[in-house]
Amino acid sequence: MNESKKVPVTILTGFLGSGKTTLLNRILSEEHGKRIAVIENEYGEVGIDQGLVINADEEVFEMSNGCICCTVRGDLIRVLGNLMKRRDKFDYVLVETTGLADPGPVAQTFFMDEEISSEFTLDGIVTLVDAAHIDQQLGRSDESSEQVAFADVLVLNKTDLVSEDSLKNLESRLRDMNRMTRIIRAEQAKVPIETVLNLSAFDLDQVLKRRPSFLEPEYPFEWTGVYNLEAGRYELILEDGPDPEMSLVVFKDQGTSEGDLKEGAEFCVRYYSESPLEIFNGDHVPFSKHVNLNLKDKGPKSFILDVDQSCNVGLFTQHTAEEFDIKLLSVNEKNKGELVNTEKERIWVAEHEHDDEVGSIAIERIGDVDPEKLNTWMGRLLAEKGVDIFRTKGFISYAGNPKRIVFQGVHMLFTAQPDKEWGNEPRRNQLVFIGRNLDEEQMQKDFDKCLI
């Protein structure tokens, strides 16, 4: 059957009281032209106001081989198997799981059972969290951290009950656990329907089109300054700061809108993943290159920026401008020694230490990998750690293959397929693993061995 004719399925998870049924009712009552069938595992106090609702007790079926990735949800197979004979009645399915459900078997059902996968396609996993209670729940139960780990979208609900500071901390904690997810704040589960339905989150091709780097932004740089510069020479002055060195990437033609800044940041991430060129006090700063400014000298340090024609120049710095009192001076004849002000400034969320058991590991490297080495490594990794790796997404550059290879996995289930041609884009690799107790350093080392 044609992929596009398959019925999309959204899985809705979250603890009891997080607002799943409220969200369900919102989705169902909205004018979206969809006929939605609901499979409900949890019988909450709030009823669902719609026709095609099927109640089913959750039944987790492990297989005799004991393989966790073969574990499926028997109730879904039964219900969907019968539903597919009523295709005239619906064109979308929502599965509401219980608060204690492990999302693994739910997702695996759509890959492991051929009868189901030939008719349905998993569109995305949406997890609701109660902003007021999730902090404690995460500490107490494995299920809640797994639901966060599996989510394509996290709806941070009941934000009206929590202070802005706590929300920021919470978002940062959730993002540490799952860097692929999109976090949406909501009060009373009010979210735009397009943020939870039709995500095509398991169709990597689509995901990458929308977000060339699907990592939720957490950048290796903290500050961007955009300057409108005439052609000529400029001096970048840094005072003594918290570090004896700092990474920097400078772009030409950097726009000042939020969209332009984000686009620049995405590009910059790629440059930051290259090893930097070290430059010293008085050196020239090259454009579009990851440099590491050596700041060991005491007192102000200056670096030279030559602009050949007038344009907006963007600086992406590892630390904020404030920390080093960064200044840009013109050294042209016309306005020698004049301070140039930024057209636009932007602070980014920086990477930081992770303390939850469940977390995300991202590996980003420029260059090609050896397919055989990579397969051996991934095979071993998933065999040994598949139970603890909840989701995997990424793309890789195989040596000799003109196409980008995209892949994704749920536990040990893993698919890889060729995507678009690389063309002129720099060849690179980006892998994200979300799991429990993963050894980031070791995984990065092992991946590096697969590079050519």
Partner 1 sequence: MSNLEPFNPRGMLHDGWTSQVDDFAIACGWAKKGNIFLVGGSAGGLYAFNGSNGKSLWNKESSHQEGLLALDINPEGDNFATSGQDGAVRFWNSENGNELNFIDLGKGWVEHLCWSPDGKYLAIAFSRTVYVYSSTGKEIWKSEQHPSTVSALAWAKENELATACYGQVCFYDITQNKVNQKLEWRGSLVSMVISSNGDIVACGSQDNSVHFWRRSTGHDAEMTGYPGKPSNIAFDHTGKLLATGGSERVTVWSFEGNGPEGTIPGELGHHTEAVSSLSFANKSKLIASGSRDGSVVVSFLQNNGDGNPVGAAFSGNSISALAWKPDDCAIAAVNSKGKINIWNFKVRTE
∠ CA 290-371-383 to the nearest 5 degrees? 105
Q: Does 77 bind partner 1 (CB under 8 A)?
A: yes
Q: Binding segment for partner 1 among 58-66, 178-186, 375-383, 426-434 (CB under 8 A)?
A: 58-66
Question: Closer CB to partner 1, residue 59 or residue 135?
Answer: 59
Question: Residue 358 Cβ, how far from partner 1 at the closest point, in Å?
Answer: 28
Q: Does 68 bind partner 1 (CB under 8 A)?
A: no
Q: Does 35 bind partner 1 (CB under 8 A)?
A: no
3 state SS for the chain: CCHHHCEEEEEEEECCCCCHHHHHHHHHHCCCCCCEEEEECCCCCCCCCCCCEEECCCCEECCCCCCHHHCEEHHHHHHHHHHHHHHHHCCEEEEECCCCCCHHHHHHHHHHCHHHHCCEEEEEEEEEEECCCHHHHHHHCHHHHHHHHHCCEEEEECHHHCCHHHHHHHHHHHHHHCCCCEEEECCCCCCCHHHCCCCCCCCHHHHHHHCCCCCCCCECCCEEEEEEECCEEEEEEECCCCCCEEEEEEEECCCCCHHHHHHHHHHHHHHHCCCCEEECCCCECCCCCCEEEECCCCCCEEEEEEECCCEEEEEEECCCHHHHCCEEEECCCCCCCCECCCCEEEECCECCCCCCCEEEEEEEEECCECHHHHHHHHHHHHHHHCCCEEEEEEEEEECCCCEEEEEEEECCEEEEEEEEECCCCCCEEEEEEEEECCCHHHHHHHHHHHEC
Question: Residue 86 Cβ, how far from partner 1 at the closest point, in Å?
Answer: 6
Question: Residue 107 Cβ, how far from partner 1 at the closest point, in Å?
Answer: 16
Question: Closer CB to partner 1, residue 101 or residue 189?
Answer: 101
Q: Does 136 bind partner 1 (CB under 8 A)?
A: no
Q: What single-letter amino acid sits at 171?
A: E
Q: Does 152 bind partner 1 (CB under 8 A)?
A: no
Q: What single-letter amino acid sits at 408?
A: Q
Q: Does 44 bind partner 1 (CB under 8 A)?
A: no
Site for partner 1 (CB under 8 A): which residue of 64, 257, 309, 424? 64
Q: Does 102 bind partner 1 (CB under 8 A)?
A: no
Question: Closer CB to partner 1, residue 105 or residue 394?
Answer: 105
Residue numbers 105-124 binding partner 1 by CB under 8 A: 113-115
Q: Does 331 bind partner 1 (CB under 8 A)?
A: no
Question: Closer CB to partner 1, residue 118 or residue 169?
Answer: 118
Structure tokens at 85: 């004979």
Could you tell me which of 289, 326, 331 has the C-alpha nearest to residue 306?
Answer: 331
Question: Residue 97 Cβ, how far from partner 1 at the closest point, in Å?
Answer: 17
Question: Residue 64 Cβ, how far from partner 1 at the closest point, in Å?
Answer: 4
Q: Does 437 bind partner 1 (CB under 8 A)?
A: no
Q: Binding segment for partner 1 among 21-29, 79-87, 344-352, 388-396 (CB under 8 A)?
A: 79-87
Q: Does 31 bind partner 1 (CB under 8 A)?
A: no
Question: Closer CB to partner 1, residue 72 or residue 183?
Answer: 72
Q: Binding segment for partner 1 among 22-30, 49-57, 280-288, 441-449 (CB under 8 A)?
A: 49-57
β-pairing verdict for 36-40 and 53-55: parallel
User: Rounded to an integer, what distance in angstroms lies between the CA atom of residue 304 and that of residue 306?
Assistant: 6
Q: Does 70 bind partner 1 (CB under 8 A)?
A: yes
User: Which x/- pattern over 195-214 shows residues binding partner 1 (rule: CB under 8 A)?
Assistant: --------------------
Is 13:24 a contact under the CB 8 Å cutoff? Answer: no
Question: Residue 63 Cβ, how far from partner 1 at the closest point, in Å?
Answer: 4
Q: Does 57 bind partner 1 (CB under 8 A)?
A: yes
Question: Closer CB to partner 1, residue 113 or residue 203?
Answer: 113
Question: Residue 60 Cβ, how far from partner 1 at the closest point, in Å?
Answer: 9
Question: Residue 114 Cβ, how far from partner 1 at the closest point, in Å?
Answer: 5
Q: Does 49 bind partner 1 (CB under 8 A)?
A: no
Is 152:211 a contact under the CB 8 Å cutoff? Answer: no
User: Rounded to an integer, what distance in angstroms lies between the CA atom of residue 108 and that of residue 121?
Assistant: 11
Q: Does 311 bind partner 1 (CB under 8 A)?
A: no
Site for partner 1 (CB under 8 A): which residue of 7, 22, 25, 74? 74
Site for partner 1 (CB under 8 A): which residue of 46, 47, 61, 439? 61
For residue 302, CA distances in Å to 91, 219, 242, 280 come to: 62, 25, 17, 9
Site for partner 1 (CB under 8 A): which residue of 2, 65, 257, 437? 65
Q: How many residues bind partner 1 (CB under 8 A)?
A: 22
Q: Does 2 bind partner 1 (CB under 8 A)?
A: no
Q: Does 55 bind partner 1 (CB under 8 A)?
A: yes
Q: Does 75 bind partner 1 (CB under 8 A)?
A: yes
Would you tell me which residues interact with partner 1 (CB under 8 A)?
54-55, 57, 59, 61-65, 70, 72, 74-75, 77-78, 82, 85-87, 113-115
